[in-house]
Amino acid sequence: MNKIILKFLILLFISSLLYGQIGSEGSFDARSFGMGKTYNAVSKGIFAVGSNPANIFSEFSDKIEISTLLPFPSLSVKGGANFITIDDVNYYFGGVNGEARYLSSDDKQNLMDLFSGGGVVGFNMSINLLMISFKVNPSFGTLALGINDIASFQCTIPSAVPEVALYGNPSGKVYDFSEFELQSWYLRSYSLSYSRKIFSSKESPNNVITAGVTLKYVQGFYYAGTEHVNSSFSTGSSNEIEGNADYRGYSAFSSNFGVKYDFDTVDKESSFSFFPEPAGSGFGFDVGVSASLGENWRLSVSLTDVGKIKWDKNAAQFTAEGTIYIDDLSDDAQRDSLKDKFVGKSKKIDSFETDLPTALRFGITKYFSKSFTAAFDYNLGFNNMPGNSTKGRFSVGVEWMPFEFKMNLRSGFSFGGLYGFGWAAGIGFDFELLEFNIASSDFNSFVVPKKAKYLSVAFDTKWKF
């Protein structure tokens, strides 16, 4: 199992070097990043794929838009933890003058408070390998094709973990690990989108409604996640330990990764490929509607990533179940029994299914002038798959073009969701033929780096013809 974890970490590292948007908390294009991950009603063209397909079409958009690996790939990365800052890490784990720090009772309690409710460590990354849209004509609408790679990881660390490390196992204490949750995957999405105008007012030509749909074929190259965790234990008056182990998890890996499970009897070789053999596949869709009310307002709503993935290559199930009792830690048999109960067993299975990170999105945009735009978003995930959260997220963002040569300044704030507060900033340049954007959804991490919980960056380019 240690080899599996090591190869997973290597996979994340390689992905971040090599390689659309997915889920309510996933990665986004740079323009949205700079506006506080506010994108539903303000998105347009090919970068509306994944958020609201209705906004792919516009009567004023260019006929052809392309985003590819040249001159720069469209990439977004975000990682960190929602409970601890760099200052906290340095204080509690950095030591003093090269030696370990002695934690006072107040230090221990403050560290415990950081983990209250479970601490979430997360990583999201996406890259647009190819995005292209073609506006056939205003009456037919716009078609778009996309190929996106997505890597996401999120893990909730239960408060029982630091509590055991800090206080040991005092008599009468119950340690509950049910807060633990792990979800991670690496996907490639092939999408086909269609968007068109479905209503326009003859009396008010600026009152327009557009609709769109995106169909997706998704390949999964890696998945590891828990289905449930209900393990706990307590210490009795005579220092005996008793409790129960109860968890179930699943994993699947592309054959190219060479992962060997404990039950495998034959060694497996890893082989690099830009087109790995999928460990699973599935289908999904997005639907959206967008309404322009006069020249100054736009409302948008969409439902994204409805579907499932079936993982049927190198699939395994991990389970632990049964009661725990140990009254003599010096007894090898009891220690081995405790280890077996908590570590559990793995077995080969034919397949398992996971949902895509389905999310509901709503947005309002106000155009105060040709040079100043403000927008509001609400996003709610229907599950806690990677890049998604059932905690609602609000965001507000602005875009300002102070000069005539189309340099856009952006900023925004995001609240709630899985990652909490974030202050974003970004800049974009429109050279008519080529558009370039760069941003961070956690600009506060650069302003006050020692208080940073997350680091994020996104940049993208778009050709327009």
Residue 122 inside a domain? The answer is: yes
Q: Is residue 306 part of a domain?
A: yes
Nearby residues of 3 by Cβ (< 8 Å), 6 or more positions away: 259, 260
Residue 90 lies in a domain: no
User: Quick one: tokens of 138?
Assistant: 């205003």
Mean pLDDT estimate for the chain: 86
Q: Are 384 and 360 in contact (CB under 8 A)?
A: no
Extract the tokens encoding 237: 């008056």
Q: DSSP character for 32? A: H
For 450-465, what is each residue's pLDDT tens digit?
888 888 999 999 999 9
> For position 370, what pLDDT does the model report?
87
- Per the domain annotation, does 410 fall within a domain? yes
Give the model's pLDDT for residue 136: 93
Residue 371 has pLDDT above 80, yes or no: yes
280: nearest Cα among 315, 311, 314: 311
Higher pLDDT, 424 or 158: 424
- DSSP state for residue 246 in the 8-state scheme: E
Q: Are 395 and 37 in contact (CB under 8 A)?
A: yes
Q: What is the pLDDT of residue 8?
A: 39
pLDDT score for 329: 62
Q: In this predicted structure, what is the pLDDT of residue 117?
A: 64
Q: How far apart are CA 363 and CA 253, in angstroms?
A: 37
> Cis (ω within 30 of 0) for the bond into 53?
no
Residue 436: its pLDDT value, please? 93
pLDDT category at 337 given cuts 50, 70, 90 is confident
Average pLDDT over residues 248-265: 90
Give the count of beta carbons closer than 10 Å to the beta carbon of residue 164.
Answer: 15
Which domain covers residue 349, as residue numbers? 2-83+118-464
For 68-77, b/e burial (b = at least 16 CB within 10 A) is beeeebbbbb
pTM for the predicted model, two decimal places: 0.85
Assess if residue 95 is contained within a domain.
no
Domain membership flag for residue 100: no
Q: What is the pLDDT of residue 26?
A: 61
pLDDT above 60: residue 2? no
3-state secondary structure of 84: coil
Where are the strands (E) in 138-255, listed by range?
141-157, 174-176, 181-200, 208-229, 232-235, 241-253
For residue 267, the number of C-alpha atoms closer than 13 Å in the C-beta half-sphere is 2
**Band of residue 297 on the pLDDT scale cut at 50, 70, 90:** very high
Overall domain count for the chain? 1
pLDDT digits (tens, 9 = 90+) for 56-112: 998 777 789 999 888 888 888 888 888 888 888 888 887 777 777 788 888 888 888
* CA Rg value for the chain: 24
3-class SS at 327? coil
Whether 40 has a pLDDT exceeding 60, the answer reads: yes
Instruction: Please name which of 281, 284, 286 lies closest in space to residue 193, comparing C-alpha atoms.
Output: 286
Q: Please report, as a single letter, which amino acid is at residue 269.
A: E
pLDDT value at residue 9: 39
SS3 155: strand
| Whole-number pLDDT of residue 396 | 96
Residue 258 lies in a domain: yes
For residues 101 and 91, the answer to whether their CB atoms sit within 8 Å is yes
Residue 96 in any domain: the answer is: no
Which tens digit of pLDDT belongs to each residue from 153-201? 889 888 888 887 787 767 777 888 888 889 999 999 999 999 999 998 8
Cis peptide upstream of residue 71 (ω within 30 degrees of 0): yes
pLDDT beyond 50 at 208 = yes
pLDDT digits (tens, 9 = 90+) for 399-411: 999 887 789 999 9
Specify the DSSP element, H or E, that contains 134: strand 119-137
CATH number for 347: 2.40.160
Query: Checking DSSP bridges between strand 241-253 and strand 181-200, what pairing results, if any?
Result: unpaired
